[in-house]
Amino acid sequence: MTILGFILFLIVAAVCAGIGEMIVPGAVPGGFFASAVVGIVGAWIGTSLMGSVGPSLAGVPILPAILGSAVFVLLLGLISKVRRKAV
């Protein structure tokens, strides 16, 4: 993977995470790079659950990445709620 390919991968993953954040309530603090990490993890979760369904851009399957990111944002929101109640 080239540097440009990696940058495109991060951008697509971050956009998928942003869309995933819009689907479920909650937010990912940390800006672009945190969203990119959530997008990468979300793409992995979505691809593990759904396979490589639908269109792919820069090596990221779009639909599974969006749904996986939404699931991951939901899990992060639940964990942060539990942590806030414990403190």
The domain ranges of the chain are 3-11+27-86
Nearest C-alpha neighbor of 69 from the set 34, 80, 59: 34
Query: Angle 12-16-20 (CA atoms, 0-180°, nearest 5)?
Result: 170
d(C-alpha 87, C-alpha 67), whole Å = 31
Mean pLDDT in each 10-residue stretch from start to end of the chain (87 residues)? 83 82 74 76 85 83 86 81 69
For residue 9, the model assigns a pLDDT of 81
Instruction: Establish how many alpha carbons lie within 13 A of residue 20's alpha carbon, considering only the half-sphere containing its beta carbon.
Output: 34
User: Residue 68 corresponds to which tokens in the numbers above?
Assistant: 């996986």
